[in-house]
Structure 1
Amino acid sequence: MKKYIFLVTFVLMIVFIASNMSYEQQTIVPELQTILKDKPFEEELSKIELTYWDMPISVETRGYYYFIEFLIRKATHFSGFGLIGVIFFLFYRKMKFRFPAYFAIASVFILGSLDEYRQKMQPGRTGLFEDVMIDTAGAIFFVFLAKLFLWLLSNRKRVSKRPV
């Protein structure tokens, strides 16, 4: 139980630290310009256009490196908060909550909302409900995978215990 409390606390600290950083402190564009100097997949990525915050986001509108950074940032929201959802799920499961998956997803929604609210207060940052939805979608996806994994693991144990 202590390890789950530690993990939840650790994750909350990481979210808090990341929320306090300005975009300029977080940008990875200079690194992308070094690593991806030949602009791999630029032609394929140029065919993609997303709408975010009622604005078109594409290689054409943002530039290659900023578009890649946008995709990485949103994938980080999805996967990072998805993993946070799994940690909450395991914590609530250990605490014997009746519906740990629902509580985990709700916790991520609340945490994501608070994170975006905090970001609105930081200079040079925006807090967007779209990011809360990405966070929550990540939690739904990863918690589902965790539940599926645990279910498969428990069924495998049951099958292996059956007499031949």
Structure 2
Amino acid sequence: MGVQGSGKSTAGRVTAARLGLPFIDGDDLHPASNKAKMAAGNPLTDEDREPWLTVIGQTLAAGMEQGEARVIACSALKRRYRDLIRFFAPAVQFVHLDGPQELIAARLGQRNHEYMPAALLDSQFATLEPLQADEPGMRLDVTLSPEDIAEAVADALSAAGR
């Protein structure tokens, strides 16, 4: 989880490969209306995000029902968003890729996203409620390499017996 440009998809792919799990990019689960709204430079509202977060939670739950954990990259910016995902998938563990807005803005200047303009970064940071100590998961610095992120996740899951 994290704001755009934090490295969720890249780290997610590497982590999934490290753990031998399928990777799903949450961007692919957005309805067309959400993508169009963001492409027009408009931030999503809680109402826009709720169906998308429901699909993410249900996707995680479906994997668990099949005996298969999954790695999904998604913003999950607010605690209530994470709570909704956990409603469907109570065993979910979040990895919050956290870093300074200036660094992430610089990263965004070097990429071209299909529908997520860099201008939305301010709204994402305004919305962000960092992962708290009482939530399942960990916060990791965005300056870590994707391989180091994957290793930290694998170590934490191993230590937790997962």
Classify the TM-score, shorter chain: under 0.3
TM-score, length-scaled by structure 2: 0.27
Q: Name the structure, 1 or 2, with higher relative contact order (CA <8 Å, separation 6+).
A: 2
Instruction: Say which one has the larger Rg.
Output: 1
The structure carrying a bigger helix percent of its residues is 1
TM-score, length-scaled by structure 1: 0.27
